[in-house]
Structure 1
């Protein structure tokens, strides 16, 4: 029987029995790709006691099961744990890893960086799932603390990926160029797409619908740039805009008083309800200041939606440069939204291009790549 530890900084809700629940996209099915090769999975990650917070239980996904257990671990992102008590937590993690055959570390992750150090010392094979750029994340905060921490986290990320037995990247080029590995490697997004819609054509109408999916508490999704862009658009529109900001969170949930723009906050949607919303939308936007390769954008592409996105992370790998704006420029975002909704030729071509590009991310296409990657890891066990 082979076992792995899956390590990340994702915050799980946990009860006294160490059952883990996720408020994000992680679910039991998220770990099926590993069970093709391994018999047991231990999840090591941050935790929140479910009895100490107010949550909507129905919105949580239980991720523990008969062959998945959860090992709560203290947050390593604060100064005390990251620096002063590092040897203590390294010893603790060494104990928790003594019965696993290999590690799957999703980075960036401070617990993951610590685990890579332990794995190298103990001779435990490990691979990195490289999903985002921490340098871009720190730039998004624009503070002295973030600038100092940026050098530390980039160095830790670079060492972890470089020394890994292998690395699987969500991008085709962006993350590979910034965080190379000496191990075996491949690329595969974490998106799950089983079908692609036919291309759509722009129809003249009095109101257009635009959708963005993201955590409204996140400073990385570009909401500040978006609201500034909407201020610009509101003054030049000759049609109405209905903006759907999908996702949990309240920090960027604003009541705006535009003349031609209405913003809705549908909250968290299941996959089918999200696809229904995308299907009736006219445009998808992703104005993030930090990304790996966002699943939400690829999902929108699969629904034949033209997309206007920022130049963060791997987004320019997905979308024609005509519809990519500088991540710090509300003016560029406003101009590109306005232009594509006023050009039948550009709109129709963008829809066609996105349906063709989305085919590379069909589950059937990605599954074989992932399978070959984890087969290589199992050979090291």
Structure 2
């Protein structure tokens, strides 16, 4: 049986037909589905390019193909090619295919609706919470309150009508978006950490660093990662006399806006925008340079960047949103959009070497629960349950 999986990713295709990306999900992610399915078709936006850079990651490969959707960026481009997108989605899956939609997502929701209209089954992977993503101060699209209500209601309906649902959190998303009674469900992070992701032992921290390196990571396409809040907190720390600097990993169209904020707050010599860092050894080496990881997000599912940092035994401060409280204890959490509280939490952590050492050990231990060894059996079991449920429903439909 083939599985068709929707993705919000944007990929590049070279003239040889190969498909590429510069960040996950890449081929190793899509290959996971082959543990239960014979073939994988990834439905995603694809842009033709004459060539790609040497650091590009392969998306397609043995057992995995990409079904290209019209390439768009942002809601206005989406609206202009919406009818073409729906036409391509309608042809992406057949009656004997299993379908897994990664939601919330316009593309995933369209594909789920097509399957319901055809009285065919689909499963869902819930990777984020639209209620939080569309909260005040996170994203500001036109008609935000209406979109928040509609997207939340739609995701609830998609979960109730799916033949199986997996969630990236352990309980947070499950409570808001329950599946149908009796449907197979699983708490499976989309992240699985390979053995090399982990340091062998916690950090030995006996004194406060002379110059503390704070590190954050995430897209700057929108402000939901809260990097502006962290910059405000950094300015407060510097004003209080703490010798700290910030390194942010990631790219995005709002970088210039954040750079202006850095200049306005007088910390231009204290902030480095390091750009995109390739996953694997380059990212691990960068994380190892930090003293404290900070995740000031306004919304999250279960953040990979935080887990990557925890696997390097980094102490961390995060916000009390989404799945972050499932990873960090209450004493390491603050409310979002509160620079004063964030600055206070960072200062308190840096001033307590024993607390830093304890956080290092605790974070490393927690991250090990997201190792490939731990997650692969649960993921395979869920995929097999989706395959069985699809075969059963398809047989009933055919009959």
Going from structure 1 to structure 2, the CA distance change for 1:133 and 1:209 (only over 3 Å counts) comes to same
Going from structure 1 to structure 2, the CA distance change for 1:100 and 1:242 (only over 3 Å counts) comes to farther
Residue of 293, 296, 302 corresponding to 1:287: 296
- 1:248, 1:268 within 8 Å by CA — same for their partners in 2? yes
- 1:247, 1:269 within 8 Å by CA — same for their partners in 2? yes
Which residue in the other structure is 1:12 paired with? Answer: 11
Q: Does 1:327 align with 2:327?
A: no
Question: Offset at 1:150?
Answer: 1.3
Which residue in the other structure is 2:394 paired with? Answer: none
Going from structure 1 to structure 2, the CA distance change for 1:259 and 1:114 (only over 3 Å counts) comes to closer
Query: Runs of at least 4 residues of structure 1 off by over 6 A?
Result: 79-86
Going from structure 1 to structure 2, the CA distance change for 1:76 and 1:135 (only over 3 Å counts) comes to farther
Q: In the aligned structure 1, how far is the partner of 2:299 from the partner of 2:91?
A: 34
Which residue in the other structure is 2:189 paired with? Answer: 189
Residue of 218, 234, 237 corresponding to 2:238: 234
Unaligned 5+ residue runs, structure 2?
Answer: 392-399
Which residue in the other structure is 1:274 paired with? Answer: 283
Question: Offset at 1:359?
Answer: 2.2
Which residue in the other structure is 2:310 paired with? Answer: 301
- 1:226, 1:330 within 8 Å by CA — same for their partners in 2? yes
Q: In the aligned structure 1, how far is the partner of 2:2 from the partner of 2:108?
A: 17
Q: Does 1:95 align with 2:91?
A: yes
Alignment RMSD: 2.6
Q: In the aligned structure 1, how far is the partner of 2:170 from the partner of 2:282?
A: 29
Q: Which moved more, 1:271-280 or 1:257-266?
A: 257-266
Going from structure 1 to structure 2, the CA distance change for 1:18 and 1:180 (only over 3 Å counts) comes to farther
Match of 1:58, SS state, is: coil
- 1:196, 1:358 within 8 Å by CA — same for their partners in 2? no
Q: Does 1:35 align with 2:34?
A: yes
Which residue in the other structure is 1:45 paired with? Answer: 44
Q: In the aligned structure 2, how far is the partner of 1:81 from the partner of 1:223?
A: 27
Match of 1:5, SS state, is: strand
Question: Offset at 1:313?
Answer: 0.7
TM-score (norm 2): 0.86
Which residue in the other structure is 1:159 paired with? Answer: 157
Question: Offset at 1:252?
Answer: 2.4
Q: In the aligned structure 1, how far is the partner of 2:372 from the partner of 2:128?
A: 21
Question: Offset at 1:129?
Answer: 1.1
After superposition, give the CA deviation of every residue in 1:322-341 in whole Å (9 maximum; x if it has no partner).
Answer: 11111111111111011100
TM-score (norm 1): 0.90
Which residue in the other structure is 2:397 paired with? Answer: none
- 2:247, 2:274 within 8 Å by CA — same for their partners in 1? yes
Residue of 105, 110, 117 corresponding to 1:114: 110
- How many residue pairs get aligned? The number is 375
Going from structure 1 to structure 2, the CA distance change for 1:82 and 1:119 (only over 3 Å counts) comes to farther
Q: In the aligned structure 2, how far is the partner of 1:65 from the partner of 1:179?
A: 34
Q: In the aligned structure 1, how far is the partner of 2:303 from the partner of 2:63?
A: 29
Question: Offset at 1:89?
Answer: 5.6
After superposition, give the CA deviation of every residue in 1:201-233 in whole Å (9 maximum; x if it has no partner).
Answer: 333332111111112223221111111111211
Q: Does 1:311 align with 2:310?
A: no
Q: Which moved more, 1:249-258 or 1:7-16?
A: 249-258
Match of 2:272, SS state, is: strand
Which residue in the other structure is 2:101 paired with? Answer: 105
Q: In the aligned structure 1, how far is the partner of 2:223 from the partner of 2:282?
A: 25
Question: Offset at 1:298?
Answer: 1.1
